[in-house]
Amino acid sequence: MRPDSLTFLRTLLDTPSPSGYERAGQQVWLSYVRPFVDRCWNDAYGNCFASIEPTKSGKDVFTLALCGHADEIGLMVNFIDPNGFVYCKSIGGIDAGSIVGKRVQFMSSVDGVAQPVVGLIGATAIHLQDKSNEGKMRKLHELYVDIGAKDVAAAQALLNIGDPGVFMDQSMLMGDGLIVARGLDNRIGTFAAAEGLRLIAEQRSELNVRVVAVSTVQEEVGLHGASMIAGSL
């Protein structure tokens, strides 16, 4: 893979982009495609588009869309207890049994100032659990996030109810050219759409169709982005 392409992919993967809060990741995507396309734009929902137009245009020109979704699963602050522990709802499908001990970064904005807040997901220790629950799947409402706040007031100075968060699993290169990261579903798709458009741009003189790459939003919470763009293309 080209070094520039790999840098783009890893930046895309490492940028927090939970469903409904995709803006930062979308800006990364648009910045990459803008130099080699004819047009970039976005809609009111946050879906982003980039197109290469054929040499001969007209109302009957066929449009080919290359789509992937930009959003990832995450958490949303739902409740802060008197001890300052944060309880969350899910953004998308979360396997609560697999996230104990994971680090979380909340995208907080207290008093209008962005301030990422990090925390660690905890649960009742195994030796303190009710024996009747042994072997049962943990539920998300049973887990808490420790952000290092001494009490509810300290936590509320850092977070608002409704603040979104993502897991702090940064991209990592493995053997045989493999990569592991959170959000590969489906930012590998938006990456492929962007790279496809880049390669097409190198042979645009042979193009007889309109090609549009689309980075859609809110797939993890109901496939919404793809539905939004279908009519506009």
Q: Say if residue 210 is in the same domain as residue 195.
A: yes
Strand 117-122 to 103-106 pairing: antiparallel
Spell out the alpha helix ranges (H) of 88-170.
152-156
Q: Say if residue 149 is in the same domain as residue 188.
A: no
* Residue-level pLDDT at 57: 66
CATH number for the domain including 59?
3.40.630.10
* Residue-level pLDDT at 56: 73
C-alpha angle 226-229-233 in degrees, rounded to nearest 5: 130
C-alpha angle 80-13-139 in degrees, rounded to nearest 5: 35
Q: Say if residue 55 is in the same domain as residue 79.
A: no
78 belongs to a structural domain: yes
* Residue-level pLDDT at 136: 77
Q: Say if residue 66 is in the same domain as residue 95.
A: no
For each of the chain's 233 residues, which pLDDT tens digit applies?
Answer: 899 999 999 999 999 999 999 999 999 999 999 999 999 999 999 999 999 999 776 667 899 999 999 999 999 999 999 999 999 999 999 999 899 999 999 998 776 667 899 999 999 887 777 776 677 788 999 999 999 999 999 999 999 999 999 999 999 999 998 999 999 999 999 999 999 999 999 998 888 899 999 999 999 999 888 888 888 88
Distance (Å) of CA 46 to CA 158, 181, 228: 27, 23, 10
46 belongs to a structural domain: yes
Q: Say if residue 135 is in the same domain as residue 153.
A: yes
Q: Which residue has the tokens 């009519």?
A: 231
Would you tell me the crossing angle of helices 3-14 and 184-201 to the nearest 10 degrees?
150
* Residue-level pLDDT at 58: 66
Q: Cβ distance 195 to 12 under 8 Å?
A: no
Q: Say if residue 78 is in the same domain as residue 65.
A: no
Q: Say if residue 50 is in the same domain as residue 7.
A: yes
Indicate the number of domains in the chain: 2
Q: Say if residue 158 is in the same domain as residue 78.
A: yes
159-187 exposure pattern, b = at least 16 Cβ within 10 A, e = fewer: beeebbbbbbeebeeeeeeeeebbbeebb
Alpha carbon distance 50, 151 (integer Å): 47
The domain in which residue 142 lies consists of: 74-167
172 belongs to a structural domain: no
Query: Could you tell me how far CA 56 lies from the centroid of its own chain?
Result: 37
Q: Say if residue 42 is in the same domain as residue 116.
A: no
